[in-house]
Chain A
């Protein structure tokens, strides 16, 4: 165990080519998917939190259900849609980073929507009443609402990123964990452990834990700032 950890540290310090490739694919997938999820989830979350309309509760229940969707179910759905017998087979996206990003967006957008909706529904009535009382326009009210949510937006992004980087079920199904192409940290850890190559697995595990630690520290700092 001790030897494996030492070897893993040496592998990280030597900037092993395969390790760098895995980190690159992981960064590409998790950053892009979390940015898309934020762009999609942010307006939906604010809309659900700030507006009252018939059918809102149905949408909230649907979003909560999607938040709890098992990643393998999402992977299965995308596999069926994009495989050789699926309706989108002509796009030839299966086993590419693009479909991994797409599957991740479906998985993490509900997290952004839920986080934003919960926060916005708390502050929106007071913001709206004050803005309406001052006869501020709709756009200015929306900007003020976004300004009130700025830390929450960053927090929602970090949550989405953390979920994306640590996900394994969906990405392994639709990405195929192909070395030098679609292998990300989580799928690589699984693959190398199954092969008995613990060194690369431990090295990736250490990096993943470090990233998770940094993200969680940032979330804690933001939450402390929010509660002040």
Chain B
């Protein structure tokens, strides 16, 4: 599957200039970079939430799922929120068990904590199979234990469904743990892209090396 080239400009300033790339099914692509490097803009444009400068087709599929950075919990129970994205109750219960939300299934979702809301949103997205699933910092609000549980679920979802997952993350450790490929964004440009071993341990460009050094990789 191919992502076509696109760009995004705000008030004459280009915040993202993406050259395009091929995506392999069944792989996890971690998108890393400093704040303001264009990671979330990239995710939003691919998800169709934000429009790029030209209204071209950016992804060769319409079957794209997206979990935003700020997750919204609708004014209904946790279980009802998850079932918004599919009617399979046993699948919803299986996901709630896997992500440790079963005890909160009848609690109003808009009263969940930040980490619980993020887990609910993750389970809600995983109710369906998408060709491409995009997660924007899914574990940012979670503690270490639930992060680990969520990462296991993400990996299992990708392997079982055979979909492509794009994971925007601030955590290089997370990229190292679960990603197959890594995309490094710097000032709105895709600077490096390749296997995680190549990008995280043998970066080609000084900017990437500097970024990784800063985070102690």
Contact = CB atoms under 8 A, between A and B. Distances in A.
B100 to A, nearest CB: 22
Contacts of A133: 47, 49, 65-68, 125, 134
Nearest to B125: A134
A195 interface: no
Interface in A112-151: 126-127, 129-130, 132-136, 140, 144, 147-148, 150
A147 B128 CA distance: 23
Contact residues of A: prevailing secondary structure? helix
A136 B84 contact: yes
Contact of A148 (B48, B74, B128): B74
What range describes how many residues of B lie at the interface? 20 to 34
Nearest to A127: B72
B72 A129 contact: yes
A134 B47 contact: no
Given A144-B84, A147-B76, A132 B71 contact: no
Contacts of B75: 147-148, 150
B64 A134 contact: no
B85 interface: yes
B66 A132 contact: yes
Contact of A132 (B49, B63, B70, B76): B49
Which of B48, B64, B66, B74 has the largest count of A CB atoms less than 10 A from its CB?
B74
A129 B84 contact: no
A53 to B, nearest CB: 15
A150 B110 CA distance: 14
Contacts of A144: 74, 84
Given A129-B49, A147-B76, A148-B75, A134 B124 contact: yes
Nearest to B135: A133
Nearest to A136: B84
Contacts of A132: 47-49, 66
A136 B72 CA distance: 14
What range describes how many residues of A lie at the interface? 10 to 19
B47 A130 contact: no
A147 B70 CA distance: 20
Interface string B167-181: 000000000000000
Interface in B29-62: 47-49, 62
A144 B85 CA distance: 12
Given A129-B49, A144-B84, A134 B65 contact: yes
A46 to B, nearest CB: 16
Contacts of A130: 68, 71-72, 74, 121
B25 to A, nearest CB: 19
Nearest to B63: A135
Contacts of B62: 135
Nearest to B44: A129
Interface in B105-146: 111, 121, 124-125, 128, 134
Contacts of B63: 135
B49 A136 contact: no
Q: Which 10 A-B pairs have the closest CB atoms?
A: A133-B66, A130-B72, A126-B72, A134-B85, A129-B68, A132-B49, A129-B49, A148-B75, A133-B47, A133-B68
Given A132-B48, A133-B65, A134-B85, 18 more contacts: A129-B49, A129-B68, A130-B68, A130-B71, A130-B74, A133-B67, A133-B68, A133-B125, A133-B134, A134-B124, A134-B128, A135-B63, A135-B128, A147-B75, A147-B76, A148-B74, A148-B75, A228-B111
Interface of B: 47-49, 62-68, 70-72, 74-76, 84-85, 111, 121, 124-125, 128, 134
16 contacts: A126-B68, A126-B72, A127-B72, A127-B74, A129-B68, A130-B121, A132-B47, A133-B65, A133-B134, A134-B85, A135-B64, A136-B85, A144-B74, A147-B74, A147-B75, A228-B111
